[in-house]
Amino acid sequence: MNESGQLERLYQVQQLDLELDTLSSQESEISGELKDARAQQERINNDLEDAEIALEGVDKQARRLELDLGTTQEQINRNKAEQDKNATNAKMQSQYENVIQQLGERVSDYEESLAPLYERREALTGRAGELRAEHRALRPVLGGLEDADEARIQALRDEGRERRERRAVMAAEIEGRLVKEYELIRRSKKGIGIVSFEGGRCKGCNVQLPTNVQQRAALGKLPAVKCPSCGRFLIKLN
């Protein structure tokens, strides 16, 4: 392959590189529908976690009060049994009655405290159930969207593999040092390592090229001529 042919082939390699860049960027471009479904799943998971944490706290408070309530009721029953057995006069009857009354008031306090906790627990249990139902309903929808996205990504990767294979064949026909230098330039110049010039201007940076640079670049000989401004290889396209 002659020197000008190598530059033309390098330009074709760059076209494949740019297509590969596009395919790579498209991999991360998920659909709005999938984004929304993922966001909905995250919201459900967060809300369910909050509901379960709150429910655990309510259950803990309720169990503590229920334990205290049970203990107090046992104390009432024990005092009533002792009253029946030991209260042989009015004074002792009065003492037992006072203790039983105080314990009864404590029972009322516990029951009053438990009532809103039971209501809160019922509400949280219902909310958690609703969220789990939402999660179950969303699962097949999200699964279908994820499968479709995986298929999309695989198709892009298959397309990329075909282009990489073509690129490898093309690059093998070009002088190795030229390809390596092109790749270095491309990495530092936003993916563009070789550009054409038109009307005396570099199409990479739009700088007016000196006449002698234009003339040498137009010959297409190696070593490849670079734009004195942006440092990219120059090629004269027919």
Q: Tens digits of per-residue pLDDT, 149-161?
A: 999 999 999 999 9
How many Cα atoms sit within 13 Å of 211 on the Cβ side? Answer: 0
Query: Which pLDDT does position 87 carry in this prediction?
Result: 82
- Does residue 1 have a pLDDT over 80? no
Is 22 in the same domain as 37? no
Is 167 in the same domain as 184? no
Preceding amide of 223 cis, omega within 30 = yes
Is 7 in the same domain as 45? no
Is 60 in the same domain as 159? yes
Number of domains in the chain: 2
**pTM reported for the whole predicted model:** 0.74
| Domain, as residue range, for 108 | 31-172
Do 188 and 197 form a contact (C-beta atoms < 8 A)? no
pLDDT digits (tens, 9 = 90+) for 93-133: 999 999 999 999 999 999 999 999 999 999 999 999 999 99
Is 36 in the same domain as 126? yes
Q: What is the CATH number of the domain that holds 110?
A: 1.10.287.1490
d(CA 23, CA 104): 76
For 195, list phi and psi in degrees, rounded to 5: -135, 155
Query: Which pLDDT does position 4 carry in this prediction?
Result: 63
d(CA 65, CA 112): 10
